[in-house]
A and B are shown apart, each in its own frame.
Chain A
Amino acid sequence: MSGYLGDVAALARTSLLLELRQRDTVPAMVLFVVSALVVFRFSLPADASDLASLGLLWIAIVFTAILALTRAFVAERDQRVLDGLVLATGDRSAIWLGKVAGVLAFLVLAELVALPAFALFFAAVGWETVAAVALANVGIAAVGTLLAAMAAASRARELLLPLLFLPLVIPVVVGGVGASVEPDPGRYLAFLGLYDLIFAILAWASFDYVVAE
């Protein structure tokens, strides 16, 4: 078990370092999410409620996540690293966990800019929105990494990922928006937690099949 955890830690570190070496992913995500918020500002009528803008915040988060996920397997694909990783690692689900940790880190970095920007442009962000974003990140990263691995293996690649990803994150958006706008956020946060648990286990158990030749 410690060997497994060691693999995960090493892979997560490798994945993060590879991404950071590219240097462009985090700035691109931050710029994208801020631009999206500005576009949303102009797409809302002046008398729109804060509730409507909270819904748009979730759209911005989901689309920024797609941006991060399309990048998640670029380095592997270009340099054939994934084949080597698959061969070298005893348990392939360690690759998945490492990737999830990497995607999660990027999402958090982007949101550290996006949430204050949202508060500045639109409306204050309550604790329940922050909690929902944190829970949603886990589900998005868990499901998204698996789907990104599938999309990377197909010919359509970047085109395919949003198609696979969006129907699966509809429950995340429901939970997130519900937690942000409803007076009683508890059940929505619990729903997000349930989603994370179910899909994280499923993605962890099935990643092996997706990357195996």
Chain B
Amino acid sequence: MRNNLGPALAVGALLVLGTGLGLALFWAPEDADQGVSQRIFYVHVPIALTAYACFGWGAWKALRLLWTREARYDLESYTAIHMGTIFGVLVLVTGSIWAKVSWGIWWSWSERQLVLFLVLFLFYSAYFMLRYSTDPGPRRANMSAVYALFGVVLIPVSFLAIRLAENFIHPVVFTREGPQMAGSMFFAFCVCLAGMLLLAAALYQAELAGKRLDARVRELREALA
């Protein structure tokens, strides 16, 4: 049963995300205000929500680790944050492209989501530094878990901070709050979001299998040495 999870997720991601991107590009109506560039929305926002989901999943596994002290949660938490960081970089790339096409600039401090993801990118990059510069063992697992928990608390706190900072850093001149989405747009968005979550889950399973194999091979090497 467990062994079939990865392939099932991959097939699901292929079907749902393929359908979703097709709907977003060819079926959803063109936005009256922004024109064709609004179609970036169907990848940018699902990727961002997926990144949050990965960070949340990593923090949940971290909490389980601290709770139960079972070593396997360390690798699961690490893998989830690894995936979250990949999706986080994609948020920065797609958001930057959207800023360029909408406002002619690659970066805008008035775009909350982008600024938040920049902060999170720095935060989780430090997570990798912490892991790589600490010897493996229960203490590293605990420290990584605590840091991962700090991450999910930092997300809402930073969001609030960025909202507050807008008053003195950069007043909001651009907004994307246009008219409400049409029903068909929302449907395409939901399919894209489901597909993106499935893609993240499939990548997570494959990456986790790889990292577990890596750990097993290392164990085997130590046992044989």
Contact = CB atoms under 8 A, between A and B. Distances in A.
Nearest to B131: A154
B182 interface: no
Q: Describe B's contact surface by its main secondary structure.
A: helix
Contacts of B126: 160, 163-164, 167
A187 to B, nearest CB: 7
A168 interface: yes
Interface range for A? 35 or more
A195 B156 CA distance: 11
A11 to B, nearest CB: 20
Nearest to A166: B122
A168 B123 contact: yes
A182 B138 contact: no
Contacts of B167: 178, 182
Q: Describe A's contact surface by its main secondary structure.
A: helix
Most chain A beta-carbon neighbours within 10 Å: one of B66, B146, B158, B167? B146
B220 interface: no
Contact of A188 (B129, B135, B150, B164): B164
Interface string A157-201: 001100110111011001101100110000110010011001100
A164 B130 CA distance: 8
A209 B157 contact: no
A209 B154 CA distance: 19
Interface string B145-179: 11101100110011011101101100000000000
A95 interface: no
B48 to A, nearest CB: 18
Interface in A59-96: none
B139 interface: yes
Contact of B133 (A155, A182, A212, A213): A155
B45 interface: no
Given A167-B123, A209-B145, A156 B133 contact: yes
A181 B168 contact: yes
B161 to A, nearest CB: 4
Contact of A168 (B134, B145, B150, B164): B150
A104 B66 CA distance: 28
B90 interface: no
A146 B130 CA distance: 13
A206 interface: yes
Given A150-B146, A178-B164, A178-B165, 13 more contacts: A150-B143, A155-B135, A156-B129, A168-B123, A170-B158, A177-B168, A194-B157, A199-B150, A202-B150, A209-B146, A210-B139, A212-B139, A213-B138
24 contacts: A146-B146, A154-B130, A156-B129, A156-B133, A160-B130, A163-B129, A164-B147, A168-B150, A171-B154, A171-B158, A174-B165, A177-B165, A178-B168, A191-B160, A194-B157, A198-B157, A202-B149, A202-B150, A202-B153, A206-B149, A209-B145, A210-B142, A212-B142, A213-B138
